[in-house]
Amino acid sequence: MGVVTWVLLGLIAGVVAKGIMPGRRGWLPALVLGVIGATAGGFVGIGVGFGGVNDLKIGSLLLAVLGAILLLSGYHTVAKRGQV
C-alpha cells in the first residue's frame, strides 16, 4: 500500500499546495509535482527519522504537502527564470 498511498497523498498534497501557492501553472503540473513531492517527503521523513508517507495520517499528509510546496517553489523559480 506504500506506493498507492504516496500517489493518493501526492494528489491531495498537489491540490493543497496549489491552494497555498497559486500561480499561472495549471492543475496537471501541480498534481504531478504533488506526487513527486509526496515521494520526496516520504524519503526525507524516513531519512530524518520521522517515518515516511505510509498511511493516511496527518503527519504523512504534512510531509507530502511540505514536499509538494518545496517542489512547486522550485518549479516556480525555474519557470520564472526561464521567462527573463
Which tens digit of pLDDT belongs to each residue from 1-53?
Answer: 566 777 787 788 878 877 887 766 677 877 787 788 777 777 777 777 766 55
18 assigned to some structural domain? yes
**CB neighbours of 6 closer than 8 A, spacing ≥ 6?**
35, 38, 39, 42, 53, 64
50 assigned to some structural domain? yes
36 assigned to some structural domain? yes
How far apart (Å, rounded) are the C-alpha atoms in residues 39 and 56? Answer: 14
pLDDT of residue 12: 82
44 assigned to some structural domain? yes
Domain hosting 20: range is 2-76
Whether the model clears a pTM of 0.75, i.e. scores above it, the answer is no
Q: Which of 20, 24, 55 lies closest to 38, judged by CA?
A: 55
pLDDT of residue 24: 66
27 assigned to some structural domain? yes
Q: 48, 28 in Cβ contact below 8 A?
A: no
81 assigned to some structural domain? no
pLDDT surpassing 80 at residue 63? no
Q: How many separate domains does the chain show?
A: 1
Question: How far from chain centre, in Å, is Cα 7?
Answer: 10
